[in-house]
């Protein structure tokens, strides 16, 4: 699954979003007439689920598009690869001034997205075989919700709540309904019926049942109103009411089953973490899927480092690192032809 991404932003390509010392280095090297052929390797110091590499390839594809194809080489792993500490995920061979200014950008792409994908993967592992949906968009700046949701899907989530994020991953957005809709209608069943009247048939009818009345009572009312059209109910009981418990899930499931609504799924949300998901698992709570927000969106970025290891054919490294190329059998060549064709076409 590759990220469906267009040209990088003008801020990135102009270097405005780069650490200023890279811009200063560029100015100095230009003034001194120096532009060696270097090989840089990029790695992190922990096991993780790699993400952001497709975006980094896209950036580098644009900036290396008219570089000498004989001396220029890009090798990388793929989004979704499980990586180990110190494993090289990206290797760039090019004239330094071709790409040096963009180190801030591609390290940031990798750090943020890999942090999110790795956190998503932890939730997915805890929930198996039940699916996880990413609901974290409201916890990050809107300009990057698409990247967050894409990273969540790379980490194993089956869906994401924003149209932009789902589009990057080639999926349709996933969602139920907000509490605000239920509050405005003043009744959960009225809101559910209105949703059913106006939203496309291919969107699953998943109704929020914790707004006004007891969750089990609301689940039954909605099930009777929508019948076979009801795909599932979502439990999102706030902490003021004790949050969603395993006992509540068991009760809702039993009451639905006894009334003949075995087909109705139960989605649980609200402060989900791998530990919380583990609690439901240990209690054998019949949860059909988990919606996770801030555990994924609030994950710390995973630091990546870019090291120059060869300059004009000579192995080199800063103290503490080994000069020369690192043995990296999993790296695959990145074909720069599509970017070159786009430039000429």
pTM above 0.85, yes or no: yes
Range list of H helices, 128-243 = 145-154, 163-168, 179-185, 188-198, 215-226
Phi, psi angles (nearest 5°) of residue 27: -65, -40
Q: Note the CATH number of domain 117-297.
A: 3.20.20.70
User: Using CA atoms, how far apart are residues 154 and 149, in angstroms rounded to an integer?
Assistant: 9
Domain with CATH 3.20.140.10 in the chain: 10-114+300-344
> Is the separation of the CB atoms in 232 and 263 below 8 Å?
no
Region of 95 please: left (phi>0), alpha (psi -120 to 50) or beta. beta
User: Using CA atoms, how far apart are residues 172 and 166, in angstroms rounded to an integer?
Assistant: 6
> Is the separation of the CB atoms in 216 and 237 below 8 Å?
no
Per-residue pLDDT at 1: 46
DSSP 23-75: HHHHHHHHHHT---EEEEEEEESS-EE--SHHHHHHHHHHHTTTS-TTT-EEE
For residue range 291-316, list pLDDT tens digits in order: 999 999 999 999 999 999 999 999 99
For residue range 47-71, list pLDDT tens digits in order: 999 999 999 999 999 999 989 999 9
Rounded mean pLDDT of the chain?
92
**Mean pLDDT computed over 101-116:** 96
| Residues whose CB is less than 8 angstroms from the CB of residue 345 and which lie 6 or more positions away in sequence, other chains included | none
Domain with CATH 3.20.20.70 in the chain: 117-297
Domain formed by 10-114+300-344, architecture: Alpha-Beta Barrel (3.20)
| 50 compared with 177, residue with greater pLDDT | 50
Peptide bond into 129 cis (omega under 30): yes
**pLDDT reading at 95 higher than 90:** yes
> What contacts 24+ positions apart, CB below 8 Å, involve 94-97?
94/37, 94/38, 94/64, 94/67, 95/35, 95/36, 95/37, 95/38, 95/67, 95/68, 95/71, 96/29, 96/35, 96/36, 96/37, 96/38, 96/308, 97/26, 97/29, 97/30, 97/35
Is residue 256 within a helix (H) or strand (E), and if so which, with residue range?
Answer: helix 246-258
With H, G, I as helix, E, B as strand and everything else as coil, classify residue 249.
Answer: helix
Per-residue pLDDT at 345: 64
Residue 3: which pLDDT band, with cuts at 50, 70 and 90? Answer: very low
**Mean pLDDT computed over 166-183:** 80
Phi, psi angles (nearest 5°) of residue 201: -60, -30
**pLDDT reading at 2 higher than 50:** no
For residue range 234-266, list pLDDT tens digits in order: 999 999 999 999 999 999 999 999 999 999 999
Pairing of strands 37-44, 88-95: antiparallel
User: Using CA atoms, how far apart are residues 150 and 159, in angstroms rounded to an integer?
Assistant: 9
> Is the separation of the CB atoms in 249 and 280 below 8 Å?
yes
Give the lowest-confidence range in 172-181, 188-197, 289-298, 314-323: 172-181
């Amino acid at each position: 699954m590759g990220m469906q991404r267009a040209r990088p932003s003008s801020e990135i390509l102009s270097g405005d979003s780069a650490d200023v010392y890279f811009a200063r280095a560029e100015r100095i090297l230009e003034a001194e007439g120096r532009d060696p052929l270097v090989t840089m390797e990029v790695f992190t110091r922990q096991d993780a689920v790699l993400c952001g590499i497709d975006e980094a390839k896209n950036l580098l594809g644009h900036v290396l598009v008219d570089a000498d194809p004989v001396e220029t080489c890009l090798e990388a792993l793929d989004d979704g690869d499980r990586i180990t500490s110190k494993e090289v995920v990206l290797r760039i061979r090019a004239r330094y001034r071709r790409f040096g200014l963009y180190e801030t950008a591609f390290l940031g792409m990798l750090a943020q997205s890999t942090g999110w994908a790795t956190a998503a993967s932890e939730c997915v592992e805890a929930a198996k075989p039940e699916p996880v949906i990413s609901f974290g968009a409201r916890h990050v700046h809107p300009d990057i919700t698409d990247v967050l949701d894409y990273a969540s899907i790379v980490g194993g989530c089956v869906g994401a709540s924003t149209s932009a994020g789902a589009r990057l991953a080639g999926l349709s957005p996933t969602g139920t309904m907000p509490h605000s809709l239920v509050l405005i209608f003043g009744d959960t069943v009225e809101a559910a019926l209105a949703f059913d009247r106006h939203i496309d048939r291919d969107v699953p009818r998943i109704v929020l049942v914790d707004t006004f009345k007891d969750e089990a009572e609301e689940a039954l009312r909605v099930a009777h109103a929508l019948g076979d059209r009801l795909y599932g109910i979502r439990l999102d009981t706030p902490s003021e009411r004790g949050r969603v418990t395993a006992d509540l899930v068991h009760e809702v499931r039993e009451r639905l089953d006894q009334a003949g609504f075995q087909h109705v799924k139960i989605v649980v949300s609200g402060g989900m973490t791998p530990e919380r998901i583990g609690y439901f698992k240990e209690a054998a709570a019949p949860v059909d899927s988990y919606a996770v927000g801030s555990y994924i969106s609030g994950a710390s970025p995973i630091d990546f480092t870019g090291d120059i290891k060869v300059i004009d054919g000579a192995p080199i490294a800063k103290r503490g690192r080994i000069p020369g190329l690192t043995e990296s059998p999993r790296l695959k060549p990145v074909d720069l032809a599509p970017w070159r064709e786009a430039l000429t076409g």
